[in-house]
Amino acid sequence: MDKVIDTAQLKAYADGIGVALEEGMLGQFDRYAEILLDWNSRMNLTAITKPEEMVVKHFVDSLTLLTVLKVPQGAKGIDVGTGAGFPGVPVKIARPDVQLTLLDSLNKRVNFLQALSQALGQENLCLHARAEEAGRRDGMREQYDFATARAVAHLRELSEYCLPFVRAGGYFAAMKSGQAEQELEEAKAAIRLLGGKVEQVEKMPLPDGSGRSIILIKKISQISSKYPRPSAKIAKFPLNGG
C-alpha cells in the first residue's frame, strides 16, 4: 500500500533533532497522516494538507518538544487545546510510555482524537472540556508532570490555562512561533503569580526554514485557588503582577 508521507524523510529529520524513530513508529506517523486527511475532508482540522508540509509543520515540529523537555519514564502529560493532536500524539508515538491526556473544547475534535488514538493503539484520555474548568477538577489540578500547548493564545493567558494542571516540580512547555521575546517579557509577572519560573527558552529551526520557540516553565510552588479564572476574565483582565 502506498504511503501518505515520506517516512524516510521524517526519520532523517527526526534523527537531525536527536529523536530516534523506529520502523513501527514511522508506520504510526503515516497512519496518523492518513486518518487526519480523511477526517479533514469532512471537518476542518488542519489547513496543512500537503504531505511534505505535514511532516515538517506537524510531526517534526511536535517532536522538537522532546529535545527541550526531559520527559521522565511513564510521565503523565496533558496537551491543552490539542486540536488535531499536536504536539501530544506525535510525542506519544515517539514515547509510548507517556500517559497522555488530550484536552479540547470542541466535541467533534475530541471524537477525532478518540478515533485516532484507537487506530494508533494509544490509550489516551481524550477530554471534551474548557481548560479553565478542567484545571479546577480534582484528579487534574496539579496532577501532571508536564503540560504543553501549541496554541495561538498569548503566553500570559496560556500560562493561566496550563500551569494549574502541573504539579510542583513539573513543567509547562509552551510552543510558540520563532520570535517570542516580547511575549515572554509581557508574561513574566503572570508566570510568577501562577507559581512558575521560566527555566529555558530554546529556539529550534525547522527543516523548511521556519522557527519554533519552546518556552520551558518550571512549576516551583502550588497555585492559588483563585486560578484559573473564567475565560472572559482571563481575556479581559490579563495577569500583570498587580
Contact 32, 179 (CB under 8 A): no
**Is the pLDDT confidence value at 242 over 70?**
no
Q: State how beta strands 211-219 and 144-149 pair.
A: unpaired
pLDDT digits (tens, 9 = 90+) for 171-208: 999 999 877 888 999 999 999 999 999 999 999 999 99
**Is the pLDDT confidence value at 82 over 90?**
yes
Residues forming a β-bridge with 138: none
What predicted TM-score, i.e. pTM, was given to this entire model? 0.96
H or E element: which one contains 10?
helix 7-16
2 band by pLDDT with thresholds 50, 70 and 90: confident
Amino acid code (one letter) for 190: A
- The residues near 206 (Cβ < 8 Å, ≥ 6 apart) are 56, 57, 60, 61, 64, 212
For the chain, what are the domain ranges?
72-236
CA distance 150 to 102: 12
Mean pLDDT of 43-69: 96
pLDDT for residue 7 = 98
241 band by pLDDT with thresholds 50, 70 and 90: low
The CATH label, of 3.40.50.150, 3.30.70.100, 3.90.226.10, 3.20.20.70, for the domain at 72-236 is 3.40.50.150
pLDDT for residue 152 = 80
Give the largest Cα separation in the chain, rounded. Answer: 59
101 band by pLDDT with thresholds 50, 70 and 90: very high
CA distance 84 to 109: 7
- Count other Cβ atoms within 10 Å, centred on residue 27: 15
Cis preceding linkage at 228, omega within 30: yes
Q: Work out the percent of the chain whose per-residue pLDDT is above 90.
A: 92
pLDDT digits (tens, 9 = 90+) for 128-160: 999 999 999 999 999 999 999 997 889 999 999
CA distance 199 to 181: 14
C-alpha cell read off for 86: 499536536
